[in-house]
Structure 1
Amino acid sequence: MPQPSNVRSTGDFRADRRYEYARAAFDERDFEAAADLARQVIELAPDFAPAQAMLGRSAAELGSQEEAVEALRWALTLEPEDALGVRVDLARLGALAPDEAITDGYVRALFDDYAPKFDQHLTKSLAYRGPELIADALRRACSQRMRDYRFGLTLDLGCGTGLMAQQLAGSCAAIEGVDLSPRMLEKAEKTKLYDALHEGELVTFLNSRRMGEADLVVAADVFVYMAALDPVFREAHRVLEHEGLFAFTVQAHGGEGFVLGEDARYAHGESYLRGLAEREGFTLVIFERVSTREDRGVPVPGFLCVLQRAS
C-alpha cells in the first residue's frame, strides 16, 4: 500500500539502525528478518510507532494475524492521526470496518511526502490523465446541454498541485481549490491559476460555502480516498447553482457500493453512483468507463461522470 516514506528517529542510534535494516528486509520480502528486527527496535524504543507498524505488517505477511493486529493497534494508539496508514492494514485483516480505513491524517502525510515528485510520477510513471479526461468530458457535456464551455465560480476538490486548473485555464471566471496537504497547496500556488486555495477536508470546505454559488465542482481522482460519497454529493448539489455541473473520476468495481482495494484506494460501483446521483437531485449527463492511470503498466478501471444539478 502507499505509505509516507519520511523516516523519523527514535532518539537511539542502535534502534534507528535496526529500523533501517528492518525496512530494507521488508522491501526485499524477507518478512521474518523484518519482524525480528522490528521486535529489536521495540525493545529499545517501545513507543516508536513505525516499528510497531513494521512488526504488524511483517507478521501479517507471515500469517501471524494475532501478533499483526496487536502491533498495528498499538501503532494506532501511539499515533491516532494514522500518518502511517495502519488502519488500512487493520481493515484488510478484518479488524476494522473498510469504510474506516483511510483518514485525513494518512492522506495528508502521504501527499505531503509525495508533493515534490507528484506531477512527474503521475504523468510519466503512471500515465495519469484524469484532469484531461474531465476537461474533455466537460466540453462534450456543454455541447450536449447547448451551453458555452465557460464556467462561473469553479471549486476544485482535492486540487493537489493544480493539474485540473491547468486543464481549465481560461475557462473559469474564478477557481478555488481545497486540499488536505499543505505541500501540495504550495505547488498549486505556484501555478498562479487559483483565485484562492484552502487547506482542509473537502466536505467541510463545501459545507462552508454559500448555497448555489458555484457553476462547476470538479474532483479528479479524489474520491479514491473516500468510502461513502453521500455527503460530498449532497454538499456539491447544495453549492451548485441551477444546472451547474459536477464532474469527477473514481476507480470502478463491478459490485454494489464501494470496496477497499489492494492498492489502498476505494473503488465505487456503477449502481451506487447512479443511485446516489438520482437521490441527490442530479441529472446524469456523461457516465463512461475510463482509465485515468496505470498500475505496473496495466490500466486501472474507472468511471468518468458529469452530473448536472436538476433541482
Structure 2
Amino acid sequence: MLPSELSSGDVIADRRADYAKMLAESGEPASAAELMEQALELTPNWAAGWFTLATYREKAGNTEGAIEALNKVLALDASDVFGARLKLSVLGAADLPDRPPSRYVERLFDDYADRFETSLIEKLGYSVPQKLAALIADTGGIPRDFRLAVDLGCGTGLFGPEIRARVDRLEGFDLSKSMLAKAAEKHVYDHLGQADLSLEPELSGVFDARLEAYRADLITAADVLMYLGNLHGVMAIVRKLTVDGAVFAFSVEDAQRPAGYVLRDSLRFAHSEAYVKEILAEQGFVVQNLARSVIRMDGGKPVHGILFITRKSA
C-alpha cells in the first residue's frame, strides 16, 4: 500500500485491518479476509483495502472473490496504482496487457528503494549487472570502450559501477525518483533523469533533448524489460537513442516457450528468445552474443533469464 493509504481514515477499520494482517501472516487467509470485509463495510471507498482483501481471498482459494475485489479496486482507482489489471490477467479475468500501468511501477519501486539492494542481492541472489558486464567484455567484434553509455531503468545504480571504467560518460534513467536518489549516492553517473520506458517512442518528454544530438554508443537495460510486455516501443526508443554501430546489452526473463511473452504470478513479464530477436531485427539490431542464466531467486525457485548483446546495423 501507499504510505498515504495505509490508513483507511477510520480507527476501527484500521484496527480490523491490522488484525487481518496478523491472521494472514499466521497462515489464516480466510479469517483475514473476513476481517478485511468487516473493515471495508466501514470504509467502502478504500482502494488499498480492497486490494488487500483480494490478496487474502486468493490465498484462501477464493479466486472469484479475489476477482470481485480487484474489480472494485479499479472502480475506485482508475490510475491502477496497485496493478489490479495485471493481477486480473494472471487470474484469467482480463486480457494479457501490453505493459503495466506506469503509476504501479513507479509506486512499486519508490516503496522498494530503501530495501532494494539488500533484498535483491542478499536475499534473492540477483546477479544480472555482473553477468551482463562480463558478457559485454567477452563479446568479440564490439568496442572495448564507449563514449556515452545510457543505463535504462538504472534503479539504484547497480550496473553503473560494472561499466564505469569503460565509458567516458554514463547516464542513467529510471521511472522512480526514489531509486534515482539512491543511484545518485553512488557518485558513478554523470547524469540521472526520470523517464518512462512504457511511453510512445518519441524522445520529447522522455529523455533529455540533448541526446537527440549526442546519441549513445552503448545502451544497457539490466532487469528492466520484464516490467514491459510488448517490447516494440522500448526497442524503438533504443534505436532513436543510438548511433550506428552502437551496442545494446540487456536481459529478459526467459519465457521458456517458442514465441511471444507471458505475464507470470510475480506480475513480471517473461519473453521468448524468438520474440526478442524478431523485434531486434525490425529495429536494425543484430545479436552478437547470448547467454542463458539463473538471474535471481523468487519464492525459493530460480528465475531463468536470457542476456543479449546486440549491435545496431549501419
TM-score, with normalisation over the residues of structure 1?
0.91
- Helix, strand or coil: the match of 1:98? coil
Q: Give the match for residue 173 of structure 1.
A: 168
CA–CA distance in structure 2, aligned partners of residues 47 and 157 of structure 1: 37
- Which of 141, 144, 149 pairs up with 1:145? 141
Q: Name whichever of 14-23 and 209-218 sits farther off.
A: 209-218
Structure 1 gap segments, 5+ residues each: none
Q: How does 1:126-275 map to 2 (within 5 A)?
A: 126-141=124-139, 144-145=140-141, 147=143, 149-202=144-197, 204=199, 207-208=202-203, 209-210=211-212, 213-255=215-257, 256-275=259-278
Q: Give the match for residue 42 of structure 1.
A: 40
Structure 2 gap segments, 5+ residues each: 204-210
Rate the CA distance shift 1:136–1:5 in 2: closer, same or farther, 3 A.
farther
Residue 92 of structure 1 deviates from its aligned partner by 1.7
CA–CA distance in structure 2, aligned partners of residues 211 and 202 of structure 1: 20
CA–CA distance in structure 1, aligned partners of residues 312 and 65 of structure 2: 50
CA contact (8 A) 2:90 2:264 kept: no
Rate the CA distance shift 1:4–1:24 in 2: closer, same or farther, 3 A.
farther
CA contact (8 A) 1:87 1:101 kept: no
TM-score, with normalisation over the residues of structure 2?
0.90
CA contact (8 A) 1:250 1:268 kept: yes
- Helix, strand or coil: the match of 1:15? helix
Q: Percent of aligned positions with the same letter in both sequences?
A: 33
CA contact (8 A) 2:201 2:233 kept: no
- Which of 71, 84, 87 pairs up with 1:86? 84
Q: Give the match for residue 301 of structure 1.
A: 304
Rate the CA distance shift 1:140–1:185 in 2: closer, same or farther, 3 A.
same
Residue 24 of structure 1 deviates from its aligned partner by 2.4
Q: Name whichever of 72-81 and 213-222 sits farther off.
A: 72-81
Q: For residue 167 of structure 2, what is the amino acid of its counterpart?
A: C
CA–CA distance in structure 1, aligned partners of residues 248 and 193 of structure 2: 19
Q: Give the match for residue 208 of structure 2.
A: none
Q: Give the match for residue 282 of structure 2.
A: 279
Q: For residue 185 of structure 2, what is the amino acid of its counterpart?
A: K
- Helix, strand or coil: the match of 2:22? helix
Residue 5 of structure 1 deviates from its aligned partner by 8.1
CA–CA distance in structure 2, aligned partners of residues 236 and 288 of structure 1: 21
Residue 157 of structure 1 deviates from its aligned partner by 0.7
Rate the CA distance shift 1:266–1:5 in 2: closer, same or farther, 3 A.
farther
Q: How many equivalent pairs are there?
A: 306
Rate the CA distance shift 1:109–1:146 in 2: closer, same or farther, 3 A.
closer
Q: Name whichever of 43-52 and 80-89 sits farther off.
A: 80-89
Rate the CA distance shift 1:42–1:100 in 2: closer, same or farther, 3 A.
farther
What is the CA RMSD across the aligned residues, in angstroms? 2.1
